[in-house]
Structure 1
Amino acid sequence: MTLSTSHRPPLVEEITGKLRELIHSGEWPLQQRIPAEPELMAALGVSRGTLREAIKALAHSGMLEVRRGDGTYVRNTSEIAGAAQRMYLDHTQEHILEVRVGLDTQAARLAARHATAGDVAAMRELLAARRAAWLAADFTAWARADWDFHVLVARASGNPLLHELYASFGVVFHDDLLRQQRRGGYNGLPHEGHGGLADAIEAHDEHAAVDSVNRNLNSCAEWLQE
């Protein structure tokens, strides 16, 4: 049966919601290309026009990026992250870091209060991957593991809004890390804000967790001033 015009907007919204959930859940990873149109049309049981309208809506919100002749890629994990990425272009690195101070310290404090043993184990695994990548000179993997560690701390805070806001810094954080790495003498495996933070979270020591974050961010601030 052909859907009437009056039924089309709800169907587009339904498909947009399904695509959004695939991104938000991580089934479609960040920076990866989503399945081709024919595959999605068959899986979702919708027409090309409906699918394209849904993709267009998520591209407008900043979650997807349509690259002509190449496909559609996941750009951000939520509308908040997409809007934030556009907003960050209008602000300096110093301003962004000052906002991160508030989010990082609160995430660390709450993670020390709420993190589970599973959260801590996952943090240790990411730190091990981060170390292995740095020693192997795989700096892209190193930066990804470093960022994933910080996002995990935010998730372990137990505050989903804080986690979503923090995750919006992903591209900015990743680019800054790689710029730092290219400087001579840069230490890519600092204990502050990483190993020390994991230790404090495991010990449920909120004060030590915040101190560890502050030491790490102070070093970032010094780097920006050089």
Structure 2
Amino acid sequence: MAVLKHGPVVPQVESLLRDRLRDGYWTPGERLPNEVQLAAEIGVGRSSVREAVRLLARDGLLDVRHGSGTFVAEPPPDSPGVHRLLRRARLLEVYEVRRALEVEAARLAAQRVRPEDIGRVRAGLCKRQELLGAEPAEFVDADLAFHRSIVELSGNALLLDLFAAAEPVLHEAITEMFRHERELPDVSDAHADLLDALERGDADAAVAATVTHLEAIVSEIRTAVSGQ
């Protein structure tokens, strides 16, 4: 039985199944165990498995054939272009979620941050900057840790729960972005501006820095999608 962390289940099940597909645990055309079997193996409810499968089918990784079962999707002949388009479409969704969560978190954090909190946030930003150019997963770990610290400073437990629920999907999608996308904008200045806004307690500036960071990436992805 898989060991899941505390928190929302569907993102964790999706991530687990996605890892298995990427690692070749099931081969293209192979039928997956049914919902009951997967749910029992992973230790979750059938509805969680069903939703995770739906998300993977939406991304073109699974083929749900009603009455027959769920199969690993066969790579299409133009696989690289199709997969690139799907990946970029997913990234747009990821950054929509990030904007919904992190803009409000930044505003609240600027209003509620204490002087003794700034050192911890600055250390997190320094680690992020040190890992620029490192292995993507390692850099994304540091990047999301920095942003998680700001969500924590918001003092809003629900925002933090939502961020924690989205984090596995964010991590995977952003790691893939750094592995496959070229000429991504350097948003280091926006991160430094966010830290400066928090230190000054300037909520408007914190929001502006967060929007600048996220919109710079979204603009690049939209341009890439439109030129696909």
For the superposition of Structure 1 and Structure 2, which TM-score range results when normalised by the shorter chain? 0.5 to 0.7
Aligned equivalent of 2:127, options 126, 129, 154: 129
Q: TM-score, normalised by structure 2?
A: 0.57
Structure 1's 106 and 154: CA in aligned 2 closer, same or farther, altered over 3 A? same
Offset from partner CA, 1:81-112 (integer Å, 9 cap, x none): x89x9486568533343233221111000000
Unaligned runs of 5+ in 2: 8-14, 16-39, 60-88
Structure 1's 123 and 191: CA in aligned 2 closer, same or farther, altered over 3 A? same
- State yes or no: 1:150 paired with 2:147: yes
Structure 1's 88 and 205: CA in aligned 2 closer, same or farther, altered over 3 A? farther
Partner of 1:184: 182
Offset from partner CA, 1:15-61 (integer Å, 9 cap, x none): xxxx99x957xxxxxx9xxxxxxxxxxxxxxxxxxxxxxxx799417
**AA matched with 1:116:** R
Find the aligned partners of 1:175 and 1:155 in 2 and give their Cα distance. Answer: 21
Partner of 2:172: 175
- State yes or no: 1:60 paired with 2:44: yes
- State yes or no: 1:202 paired with 2:199: yes
- State yes or no: 1:107 paired with 2:105: yes
Find the aligned partners of 2:95 and 2:204 in 1 and give their Cα distance. Answer: 21
CA contact (8 A) 2:152 2:160 kept: yes
Structure 1's 110 and 121: CA in aligned 2 closer, same or farther, altered over 3 A? same
CA contact (8 A) 2:184 2:220 kept: no
Unaligned runs of 5+ in 1: 1-18, 25-30, 32-55, 62-81
- State yes or no: 1:217 paired with 2:196: no
**AA matched with 1:158:** G
Find the aligned partners of 2:55 and 2:197 in 1 and give their Cα distance. Answer: 31
Q: TM-score, normalised by structure 1?
A: 0.57
What is the SS of the residue equivalent to 1:191? helix
CA shift at 1:190, angstroms? 2.3
Find the aligned partners of 2:154 and 2:55 in 1 and give their Cα distance. Answer: 24
CA contact (8 A) 1:107 1:154 kept: yes
* Greater length-normalized contact order (CA 8 Å, ≥ 6 residues apart): 2
Measured on the aligned residues, the alpha-carbon RMSD in Å equals: 3.2
